[in-house]
Copies of this chain bind each other. A is one copy, B any other.
């Protein structure tokens, strides 16, 4: 039973794809409406402005990802290992179907502007708190500041993978291929878990 997609959903899907691959500034409303084969005015009818469209695109994807993150963290029980914490943070983003989400999430995390900071505060701060707490429980010897720094490093490694994955095969002569998402997650988890466990030093 194939259902024709309505204009609003088509705009959201195409915008997500273009924002992720080319950036929010670099993507014009005309790019979006042309590719979605809808009228230019439809964007301002269904959404009020480009900024509101960006909000809607982000909101649609980031909410379920964060829900899944907390689910996985809860499913790991009252004393999750560092590996379980890292996997709960990363897997819901990297392994998610369908594909375009990865480019979008990488773009969000790699756009440190005022506008994105608002989104960041709205959707990510609360999740980051839960994960920082979990790290503190698993590694009580770390200072509060160090825990936050390591969350930051973890987010950075993940964001970089998301943003550059479509270019990696070319840049590494085919040696790195992000198409096997589960394998990428496993590599990241091993690397990050070891980093999280590092002694804090002096």
Contact = CB atoms under 8 A, between A and B. Distances in A.
A195 B187 CA distance: 10
Determine how many copies of this chain the complex contains: 2
Interface residues of A, number: 56
Contacts of A194: 194-195, 197-198
A127 interface: no
Interface of A: 22-23, 25-26, 106, 109-113, 117, 120-121, 125, 144-146, 148-150, 152-161, 163-164, 166-168, 170-172, 175-176, 184, 186-188, 190-201
B195 A199 contact: no
Nearest to A154: B157
Contact of A167 (B26, B112, B184): B112
